[in-house]
Amino acid sequence: MAQTSLDHLRQEEEDLLLRTYGRYPIAVARGKGTRLWDYAGREYVDLLSGIAVIALGHCHPEVTEAIARQAGRLVHVSNLFYQQEQLVLARALLDTAHFGKVFFCNSGAEANEAAIKLARRYQQRVRMRDAYEIITFEGAFHGRTLATVAATGQARFSDGFSPLPEGFRQVPWGDLEALEAAVSEKTAGILLEIVQGEGGIRPATPAFAAGVADICARRGVLFLVDEVQCGLGRTGKWWAFQHFGLAPDILSTAKALAGGLPMGAVMSTDEAAAGFAAGSHASTFGGGALVSAAAAKVLEIIARDRLPERAAELGAWAMDRFRASGRACPGCIREVRGLGLMIGIELAVPGKEVWSALLEKGFILNLTQDTILRLLPPLTIEKADLEAFAQALEEVLTRHRQSKGH
């Protein structure tokens, strides 16, 4: 039996890896653009892009070239040295929004950790307030470190890990009254995922997002946004908060930043940035030459190819199209929602069966919260691929309905 068969790999994993992941029944051999292939040569349409990471498609030739070139020149020297690659990237990133400073790290959770530390230290050392609490929202996902698990506030991510760090408090999504009541002299900041991803693709309404910003401004607490998943053009603007004309104090991002290499970043206003002094925070790998060169190329391509605009147009079209799929099978789809190419299809039928049938038809996507199909395709996805997916979805739903004798 080939060393690449699913059974073989499953057995190897069982022997070798700590048990943390539930895998999809595919071993991926290679990728190109919006397509993936398994070892048997079967082709899949990738509507997930490594969970919003591969925004330019797999192995984009210009990103591959930038990585190869930088790998031959300098990969890592540590943050003890000046590195031009990091500064080129910092300038490009800061050009996308109103922020004044950036810090580089290696993942989304680390970006959120840095954001939380910055908010606390700003309140305690600049504003001289004894404030440390970060308020988050139900349904959020902020990462898997102890502090970000505490910020996430969902039992299934914190089970067995107590005691969690103190200083996190959660209020219902969309509830401005509860938020207002939760803010106290202990509050350092409010952390909002503008479009909840893992929580089921829930975009904040304009009134909710503006209300959060208003409470932050009135009550003297920092406004933090987690754009680890929704950032970098996916929702139709560089940053999802820009749909609402807001100006948060601190932003965390990661997933799509370095074209598949691990990288996170925190952007801050000049005011909030005063919270850190030399030695306050650090990361050995953060902003290394290789990842920085890759990320600079990714940003260049997103801007040059106008991918945020593309995501806005294609995403709006796709959501209408998927709603039409719902009308073809009354009672099958509860809601289609999202922003740009961050799309959730909430099913009224068992999600696992539909997800499996779509995978069987060659479409890779994610199922979250048991009933929500989550689509995070490359921003370069073709309309024809989304049309083919809509037709496959209709077939699967109609077949499911017939099998249930409706």
Ligand X SMILES: *Cc1c(COP(=O)(O)O)cnc(C)c1O
Q: 36 vs 228, which CB is nearer to ligand X?
A: 228
**Residue 5, SS3 per DSSP:** coil
Report, in Å, the least distance between residue 226 CB and ligand X.
Answer: 5
Q: Measured from the CB atom, is 102 or 333 closer to ligand X?
A: 102
Q: Who's near 275: CB < 8 A, 6+ residues apart?
A: 118, 119, 120, 121, 122, 123, 125, 126, 268
109 vs 116, beta carbon nearer ligand X: 109
Q: With 0-12 CB in 10 A as exposed, 13-18 as middle and 19+ as buried, what is 92?
A: middle
* Shortest distance, position 359 Cβ to ligand X, whole Å: 21
Structure tokens at 362: 């060659």
In angstroms, what is the minimal distance from the CB of 262 to ligand X?
7
Name the residue whose CB lies closest to ligand X.
108
Give residue for tokens 């925190």: 266
Catalog residues that contact ligand X under the rule CB under 6 A.
Answer: 107-109, 112, 141-143, 193, 197-198, 226, 228-229, 254-255
Nearest residue (CB) to ligand X, 70 versus 229: 229
In the complex with ligand X, which residue's Cβ is closer, 96 or 325?
A: 96
Tell me the three state secondary structure of residue 365: coil
326 or 378: CB nearest ligand X:
378
Give the nearest distance from C-beta 171 to ligand X in angstroms.
17
Q: How far is the CB of 332 from ligand X (least distance, A)?
A: 27
Smallest gap from residue 54 Cβ to ligand X (A) = 14
Instruction: Answer whether 336's CB lies under 8 Å from 323's CB.
Output: yes
Cα 158–Cα 160–Cα 165 angle in degrees, nearest 5? 55
Are 323 and 330 within 8 A, CB to CB? no
The span from the CA of 120 to the CA of 191, in Å, is 12
Q: What is the C-alpha to C-alpha distance for residues 128 and 370, in angstroms, rounded to an integer? A: 45
HSE-up of residue 93 (Cα within 13 Å, Cβ side): 34
